[in-house]
């Protein structure tokens, strides 16, 4: 994939959002038409629909990265910041439901989506793992293996969001956070 110029990238992202919100399947022709650009232009930058899907997912992951970084950097205890990160992930999954459905699919299979897997690790796993390591170091959290705990935490959040999305077509991230956070974070706290 070649990096498209900013103006084209913006048009494609807007087109992708429109198609996703309308529940339409993506294909290069449909994306090009929705973006108001020639199909050949899309093919100049993307080898096909898989490449274009990776572009859309990477854009969404970048938005999630910004939200999680902001949550992880706020004032408060490790638990406060971990809760804020869970809320930010739920908000991102509610805003971009394709992260619930397409992201897990790209994590399986050959190296076709290797860049997505690397970005998902960097965006979703690393900040949570760092907070868990910090919480273990400060004595706030009982986390024998921060990597496994980060995977379990992200898996729980993603699976619950995906289930809510499939069952209801949408979900309220704040209401879901109120139900989910005690289930997944309170078990990590050190008992005194």
Could you tell me if 24 and 82 lie in one domain? Answer: no
- 152 and 181 co-located in one domain: yes
C-alpha dihedral (181, 184, 185, 191), degrees to nearest 10: 130
Let me know whether 16 and 104 are in one domain: no
Residue 113, pLDDT score: 64
pTM over 0.75: yes
The CA distance from 39 to 86, in Å, is 39
- Nearest C-alpha neighbor of 153 from the set 123, 129, 122: 129
39 plus 110 within the same structural domain = no
Which of 64-73, 114-123, 141-150 is the least confident region? 114-123
Q: Does 106 share its domain with 40? A: no
For residue 125, what is the DSSP state? Answer: I
Query: Tokens representing 190?
Result: 């050190």
Query: For residue 130, is pLDDT > 90?
Result: yes
Cα distances from 145 to residues 131, 152, 159, in angstroms, run: 12, 11, 21
Domain CATH for 109 = 1.10.357.10
Beta bridge partners, 48, equal none
**71 with 43, same domain?**
no
Asked if pLDDT for residue 166 goes beyond 90, the answer is: no
Phi, psi of 109 (to 5 degrees): 100, -170
Tell me the three state secondary structure of residue 141. strand
Q: In this predicted structure, which of 23-27, 42-46, 123-127 has the lowest mean pLDDT?
A: 23-27
**Domain limits at 156?**
49-188
Residue-level length of the chain: 192
Q: Are residues 25 and 109 in the same domain?
A: no
* Residues 56 and 43 grouped into a single domain: no
pLDDT over 70 percentage in the chain = 89
CATH no. for residue 8? 1.10.10.60
Tokens found for residue 162: 């995906």
pLDDT of residue 189: 80
From residue 187, alpha-carbon distances to 18, 56, 100 in Å are: 40, 35, 24
């Amino acid at each position: 994939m070649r990096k498209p110029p900013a103006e084209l990238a913006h048009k494609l992202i807007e087109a992708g959002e429109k198609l996703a919100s309308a529940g339409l399947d993506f294909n290069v022709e449909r994306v090009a038409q929705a973006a108001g650009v020639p199909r050949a232009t899309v093919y100049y930058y993307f080898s096909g629909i898989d490449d274009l899907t990776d572009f859309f997912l990477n854009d969404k992951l970048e938005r999630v990265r910004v939200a999680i970084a902001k949550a992880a950097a706020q004032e408060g205890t490790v638990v406060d910041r971990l809760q804020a990160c869970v809320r930010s992930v739920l908000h991102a999954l509610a805003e971009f439901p394709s992260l619930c459905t397409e992201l897990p699919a790209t994590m399986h299979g050959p190296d076709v989506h290797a860049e997505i897997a690397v970005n998902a690790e960097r965006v979703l796993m690393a900040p949570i793992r760092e907070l868990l390591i910090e919480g273990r170091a400060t004595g706030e959290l009982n986390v024998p293996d921060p990597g496994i705990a980060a995977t379990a935490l992200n898996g729980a959040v993603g699976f619950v969001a995906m289930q809510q999305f499939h069952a209801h077509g949408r979900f309220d991230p704040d209401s879901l956070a109120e139900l989910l956070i005690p289930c997944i974070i309170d078990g990590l706290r050190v008992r005194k």
